[in-house]
């Protein structure tokens, strides 16, 4: 699998670099990112996404073990941060290993990157892409445990995480929304969420105390409202002291996973 990733990265990872006379850069010597890659042309969205997968340490040595699976929105930046971060969380916090999936566009610039459309006006289509195309593709080729799916997003990506929680609660076991924007899905989030069949569902809303003023105020408003309502998931709100809008993304991930897996300063690997 690592050899396959190196081969693919050699031809696809740095799109357009060959025209500038720059060599493509493989991931062969970055074992914390080792896993798989495949492009996925979406029927629901009419565009191609680049899917990166990081396998847990010891994945090949434990061929019958199934793992939680974390789906990262904005994988262009989130995947290379969270993949090694998760490895460190198994070292220091003894959290369970997980399969990490990055959903990337291949650029930060429109029109290749259309995150605002995916997470905003076409959120229903993007959720259909996740449910009907991406999740089956990933979970048919990995030993992901579909009972422990986690979706994480930052900023507008966090707004999509909230949209998903309210419209299709059972699609993921847990969701992590880090510093959502005050500008997206506000009307939806004031309504009652859809009913859920599952009972062990979780939503973690993470907010940096130094986030932009509008975003921070909206998070506090949502959190206060949701604590008073009957919700289809266990709701937790976590503050990151001094946390800013984007730079504390790994801190948000760590805090949320500690909450989800019952970290108490001891060994959390026994938590189901």
pLDDT digits (tens, 9 = 90+) for 88-137: 999 999 999 999 999 999 999 999 999 999 999 999 999 999 999 999 99
Q: Per-residue confidence at 28, pLDDT binned at 50, 70, 90?
A: confident
pLDDT digits (tens, 9 = 90+) for 237-248: 999 999 999 999
What is residue 11's predicted lDDT score, i.e. its pLDDT? Answer: 39
Residue 100 vs residues 1, 108, 110, 118, 138: alpha-carbon distances, Å: 15, 20, 25, 21, 10
What is residue 265's predicted lDDT score, i.e. its pLDDT? Answer: 65
Task: Catalogue all structural domains in the chain, each as residue range(s) with its CATH number.
Answer: 32-260 (3.40.50.1820)
Q: How far apart are CA 56 and CA 96, in angstroms?
A: 9
Average pLDDT of the residues of the chain = 90
Q: Is the pLDDT of residue 3 over 60?
A: no
What is residue 26's predicted lDDT score, i.e. its pLDDT? Answer: 78
What is residue 198's predicted lDDT score, i.e. its pLDDT? Answer: 80
DSSP collapsed to 3 states, 215-258: HHHHHHHHHHHHHCCCCCCEEEEEEECCCCCCCCHHHHHHHHHH
pLDDT digits (tens, 9 = 90+) for 94-105: 999 999 999 999
Sheet with 48-54: strands ordered across: 35-41, 48-54, 99-104, 67-72, 144-154, 174-178, 202-208, 234-240
Residues 6 or more apart whose CB falls under 8 angstroms from that of 61 comprise none
Token representation of residue 261: 């897996």
Q: Are 181 and 213 in contact (CB under 8 A)?
A: no
Q: Is the pLDDT of residue 77 over 90?
A: yes
Q: Per-residue confidence at 21, pLDDT binned at 50, 70, 90?
A: low
> What SS3 class is residue 4?
helix
What average pLDDT score do residues 34-60 get? Answer: 96
Tell me which of 19-23, 170-174, 249-253 is least confident: 19-23
DSSP 131-168: IIIIHHHHHHHS-EEEEEEEEEEETHHHHHHHHHHHH-
């Amino acid at each position: 699998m690592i050899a396959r990733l190196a081969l693919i990265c050699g031809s696809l990872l740095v799109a357009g670099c060959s025209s500038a006379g720059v060599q493509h850069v493989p991931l062969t010597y970055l074992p914390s990112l080792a896993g798989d890659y495949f492009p996925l042309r979406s029927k629901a969205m009419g565009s191609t996404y680049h899917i990166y997968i990081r396998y847990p340490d010891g994945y090949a040595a434990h061929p019958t073990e199934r793992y939680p699976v974390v789906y990262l929105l904005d994988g262009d930046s989130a995947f290379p941060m969270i993949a090694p971060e998760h490895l460190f969380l198994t070292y220091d916090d003894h959290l369970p290993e997980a399969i990490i999936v990055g959903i990337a566009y291949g650029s930060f610039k429109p029109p290749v990157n259309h995150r605002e459309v995916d997470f905003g006006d076409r959120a229903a289509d993007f959720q259909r892409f996740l449910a009907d195309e991406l999740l089956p593709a990933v979970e048919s080729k990995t030993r992901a445990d579909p009972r422990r799916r986690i979706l994480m997003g930052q900023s507008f990506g966090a707004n999509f995480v909230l949209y998903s929680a309210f419209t299709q609660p059972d699609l993921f076991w847990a969701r992590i929304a880090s510093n959502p924007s005050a500008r997206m899905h506000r009307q939806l989030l004031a309504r009652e969420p859809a009913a859920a069949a599952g009972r062990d569902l979780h939503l973690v809303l993470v907010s940096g105390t130094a986030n932009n003023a509008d975003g921070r105020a909206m998070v506090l408003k949502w959190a206060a409202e949701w604590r008073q309502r009957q919700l289809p998931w266990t709701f937790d709100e976590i503050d990151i002291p001094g946390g800013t809008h984007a730079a504390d993304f790994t801190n948000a991930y760590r805090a949320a996973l500690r909450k989800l897996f019952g970290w108490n300063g001891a060994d959390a690997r026994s938590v189901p």
